[in-house]
Amino acid sequence: MISAKNALIDALERLVHTQDPEARWTAATRVSEELGLRSILVAELEFQTRNTHWINTNLSDAWMEEYLTEDYACVDPHISALAGGNLSSRIETGKLHRMDAPNQKAWSLNQALRSEGFDQTICSRYGEGTSGKAVTLGFTPDMRDQDMPFNHALFSALLASTIGAPVKSDTNRRLSVELPSPLTQRQREVLSLLAEGKQTARIAEKLGLSEAAVSLHFANARKALGAQTREHALAIAMRDGLIAF
């Protein structure tokens, strides 16, 4: 059986292996699935106002749409606990009696989490002041936090320290999150000029660069976008709205 130390080292290596936010998030979700977690969620928010900057999660789009549409954040006990100064919060789902709930919405959230397959969720806060990151781990009825190969708080801290940017998702689109571009300004420029039909020599002349420098920018753009050719990189950049044309 894999040791706790080896499991932690493996998780760390996979999360820091790449600087690309999308690839890093994919690695995080795969690690969490292998650990037996029902879900993970990393969010950047203002705890007092509950204003959410972005959310990365492997929870279903349907559930996240319900959470945002119903404005469950206003009654989310995790956020209330963290806003009150607690560094972590634990919720047992499906066990809140209607008469004990502060309001109908709070009771509905607790029941909905149970319906989504959760037995408990643990949320931890990271960052100083009124803003920071919240990392939530979701556990199924047959998976408890002590069943993880290493401490759940350590895994939450690992996620908080490595997941630092939003990824493409319906949730972040719904929040109108502006995603960071994988391309540098110069890479966008050479691709934009390529979209105009200009060849390497003309692009170099236009930008005051050597042809070798232009070729290097194309190569780096291909790598950043996972493209096979410069034309492939251009197609991806146009599709994702990374360049104006």
Q: Which of 159, 128, 126, 118 is nearest to 32 (CA)?
A: 159
pLDDT at 162 over 90: yes
Which position has the higher pLDDT, 6 or 78? Answer: 78
Residue 180 covered by a domain: no
What average pLDDT does this structure show over 116-137? Answer: 94
pLDDT tens profile 49-68: 999 999 999 999 999 999 99
Report the share of the chain in percent with pLDDT over 70: 99
Mean pLDDT, the chain, whole residue set: 92
pLDDT computed for residue 1 by the predictor: 41
**What would the pLDDT profile of 189-242 be if each residue is shown by its tens digit?**
999 999 999 999 999 999 999 999 999 999 999 988 888 999 999 998 898 888
Domains in the chain, number: 2
The reply to whether 77 and 192 lie within a common domain is: no
CA-based end-to-end distance of the chain: 55
Alpha-carbon distance values, 104 to 49, 98, 155 (Å): 21, 7, 33
- pLDDT at position 146 is 86
Return the axis-axis angle of helices 185-195 and 200-207, rounded to nearest 10°.
Answer: 130
Which helix (H) or strand (E) segment is 187 a member of? helix 185-195
**196: in domain:** yes
Q: State which residues form the domain around 39.
A: 4-174
Instruction: Tell me: do 143 and 229 sit in the same domain.
Output: no
Q: Are residues 105 and 210 in the same domain?
A: no
Domain CATH code at residue 223: 1.10.10.10
Q: What is the mean pLDDT of residues 124-143?
A: 93
Asked whether residue 119 falls in the same domain as residue 210, the answer is no
Does residue 40 sit in the same domain as residue 92? yes
In order of 11, 60, 96, 99, 160, the CA distances from 105 in angstroms are: 37, 20, 12, 12, 29
CATH number of the domain bearing residue 132: 3.30.450.80
130 three-class SS: coil
* 190-204: pLDDT as tens digits: 999 999 999 999 999
| Residue 167: both structure tokens together | 């990824």
| pLDDT score at 196 | 92
Label residue 181 by pLDDT band (50, 70, 90).
Answer: confident
- Domain contains 136: yes
Q: How confident is the model at residue 44 (pLDDT cuts 50, 70, 90)?
A: very high
**Which one of 174, 197, 230 terminates a domain?**
174
- Is residue 17 classed as helix, strand or coil in its secondary structure? coil
